[in-house]
Chain A
């Protein structure tokens, strides 16, 4: 990245600047893509800017004296000279501030013009200003013809387009020349920053404008600006046309920073960037919108082999990063994922990816939880013989033994596991590595590389008197036993201590196992609860009572040694601690008792490192939290070839975090076994510092997940969430704002689809369309080469 852009902070849909330097009240046509783009440009630049306008639609619609739509200084001089005028403005500021005649201030100098004012008559003055190196931003609002004078052709008019001076006729197909590649011509001036942008990708556009302003010296942005009036397209399709131009490669988005060509396609939307598994979220949502459900699932499975699981229990950071978050609610990404995944659960027809090859080196994976299964999946796809060793009778880890069936039905989960096993993954259950067999034994058996993903299942203790009483469970054990069907006789009242998801699951599980009353005891207040909002809400709906700001001090038993009462003390919140949460402190003299037939202490989970065995062999390094120490990029432990990930490394965390670890470890293991550098090109690629702070999505527009009612589900292990109908899913997916620049399927939109939306191309024959497609392909190819991608 250029030095000057080090401090660059991107815009987010959820945090758009409020200022509108180009205010509403202009007189642009309905659906004008140009004024939309210009508004985005101005929003990005803010108010410390001087604007120079070329003659054109934008000048006319914003400045009919005595009205003006401009809240920033604005100067219009003529058609072809905006670059020269802005040179003068910039030079004046330079001279005046140097000479102390005005206050030194950071002012951005912006000039803009249409395609004619830039690529035709204004090219000379643009070239001069670029060559002289003035510090300014030039924006070309390219609507591909002289619209204001009556739709005459310009050098920017695309081949085949109908204009009034390139009319199709018996001897002409319309515009007979190819669109001038102005961004490349500008880039040839060797200026620091050049970019193309589209108003259909507002965040990308605004980020580019901001970068252009930050780079010293000339910067140029070429913006595709649909003109429905001139193009004879429907005004409401402008943004869609602007999107299609990008998706069909007719108008690819890229930057040239200090001579380096960078394809903008790499820029992920914030949802995808927020996904630890790296799912192309925008892509799969788009495919659902197009009704391409199978393709959508396949796109997800490129990054995550457990979409039906994640579609139910993921903490969905993607939704917190969604561009619609703060407007009318995040797109229901998690539920959409579940929708396409559920369509693929049929064992006969389930999607199984093709294997890329056949490898000989055997890989052992210890633990069949989400991390282990994911690693197995990706390694199997690479062609490795993979064996998973699982201590429990069933695979799934916490998914099977922690999460209750009413949140994650067993058949759904199993179907997804089977799809992984069908790749040829061997599963050995009931094998406790470290006890039944050691890593050393496995090495002798021929395993070349290892992935330890045994999770964190050991429950933390309350550390209060009475914890040994009968009827007192640790949260993790309670769920494990309950999920195995081995819990009964909870009594009338169950008290769950803790505020996380394990506590919520335990409480709801207790209801279903016959408890009449379930209390949750939490030492902080509701807003500090680490459990997901939805989980808390659903627990409340089911009739679970919450006792906030209370902590247990002692458990008292009856004469038979069974718990009968929990003594609590009231808490108060003090200053926030290092974690940012308010530290609870007991209020002396506020002790009270609650009757309890069963107590579940769901206050946290820890790792169990018995997997490392008691033998004399060398063991991977551990941390003071009893987790395994790994390289954050490669997931390699202190022992070469032995990798670890998931909760055993992170401590109890998320499913999708485990999937990320499995996926990354698989890459490392493949590299390790291929004798390649483990870290090359990977360091920092998973850092997501630029993500916005999570916000609570507002509801409203967002489709609600159909659910069983609180009453229906209190005593039932039926899945609470019913799932989206096809209609609901398609409608919801269409709410995606396409904040990012990635194409939905990594594939392409045919140029014909792009041309079809605009009447200016309607006369083209199939032969001409093919010719355009060929040219677009060739140009895109050349662009990829320039970007070093080919």
Chain B
């Protein structure tokens, strides 16, 4: 039976990873991912988890070990943050290109400079184009559930892609929360053992990672793109089954009071919970405000997003990362592109929030919802605005 626990999300996440009977963990210390890896090391050291824990000398090597391990057919896990992700990113492209079902927890953190250990989504955005599946958690419970989901999807023969589960550094990773943790039997029911179709085995030799000459490179990339695109059906299916089994339901885009909303806020990650509080408060004041939260970042859930926001007159898209001097922030760029393709033209304002650990409060959401309504009224040009900047 699943049990109700109250513990730090990082520790619980490590417990969840351990429940998957993971074989190899390779990781390098970096704040704020630290506790996840530390606890896994403890579990291995105490004999609670039968796995190889490789204490590598860098994140680059962490991902490299994961590639080797996964290619050899082992269920493989790692975790990182920020600069660590930046260092390993070269190999992240390769992990996906080689179609290796590695699972990574990214405790999202800002990128230097200036150096900051606190949360934003710069690292998540950096990993955007590596070809991994990416899901985003809003609270501790979701972290646990998404870990199981990640392995299930990644290793599905129809998918075979690595998965990042994003959780906001400190805000989630270091929070003590009440959560429900599945037991071993439940996890086994949901997550079958990893049976790789191809692995590095002298009995059936294969060549992995060959040179892609110009006559095959494009095709390889096309195949990868198609794989990522078609993974969505499996992602959704796996969430549905998870909901059927355990009663917690997940969707590529989650909505909150959006059905009749004139203004919809679009968020991703832990700020969504604050946003819900703000939406409730605004609804109490009679404002027709709703919320759409991106649970799935890659593959991008275009249809689900359109379905969620197509009735709204105004959108406030929140980005917890900055595309320096681009048209708008990265999430907003996706949203705008998706709408443009469907010939939808709501008034849309992009807010850059919560960089490097800056708090995003209920009041901020109210300001943003009101702001977008007011700007639309004025017919102000659409653009992006970094909020909470101290003058």
Tell me the A residues contacting B by CB distance below 8 Å: 47-50, 52-53, 59-60, 63-66, 68, 70-78, 80-81, 83-96, 98-99, 101-102, 105, 107, 124-125, 127-129, 131-132
Contacts and interface: CB of A to CB of B under 8 A. Distances in A.
B54 interface: yes
A35 to B, nearest CB: 15
10 contacts: A70-B205, A72-B205, A73-B202, A76-B209, A81-B91, A87-B54, A89-B200, A95-B24, A95-B51, A95-B52
B225 interface: no
A88 B69 contact: yes
A128 B58 contact: yes
Contacts of B205: 47, 70-74
B65 A91 contact: yes
Given A48-B202, A65-B210, A84 B65 contact: yes
B73 A94 contact: no
Interface in B202-249: 202, 205-213, 216, 220
A66 B66 CA distance: 25
- The DSSP consensus for interface residues of chain B is mixed
Nearest to A107: B202
A88 B200 contact: no
Given A48-B202, A96-B73, A125-B60, A65 B51 contact: no
Contacts of A65: 210-213, 216, 220
Contacts of A99: 23, 50
Contacts of A86: 68
B68 A73 contact: no
Contacts, number: 170
A68 to B, nearest CB: 4
A83 B216 CA distance: 28
Interface residues of B, number: 45
Nearest to A49: B202
Given A75-B68, A75-B200, A84-B60, A70 B26 contact: no
B24 A81 contact: no
Given A65-B216, A92-B74, A128 B207 contact: no
Contacts of A90: 68
Contact of B65 (A53, A87, A107): A87
Contacts of A78: 64, 90-91, 94
Nearest to A68: B207
B71 interface: yes
B207 A63 contact: yes
Contact of A77 (B72, B91, B201): B91
Interface string B1-32: 00000000000000000000001101000000
B69 A92 contact: yes
B210 A128 contact: no
Contacts of B50: 95, 98-99
B55 interface: yes
A149 to B, nearest CB: 15
Contacts of A91: 24, 26, 52, 54, 65, 68-69, 74
B54 A63 contact: no
A73 B201 contact: yes
B124 interface: no
B67 A88 contact: yes
Which of B24, B56, B210, B216 lies at the interface centre, i.e. has the most chain A CB atoms within 10 A of its CB? B210
Contacts of A73: 200-202, 205-208
Contact of B208 (A76, A80, A92, A94): A76
A73 B68 CA distance: 12
Given A84-B56, A88-B69, 11 more contacts: A65-B216, A66-B216, A72-B202, A77-B209, A78-B90, A85-B64, A86-B68, A88-B54, A92-B68, A92-B70, A101-B73
A94 B52 contact: yes
Nearest to B209: A76
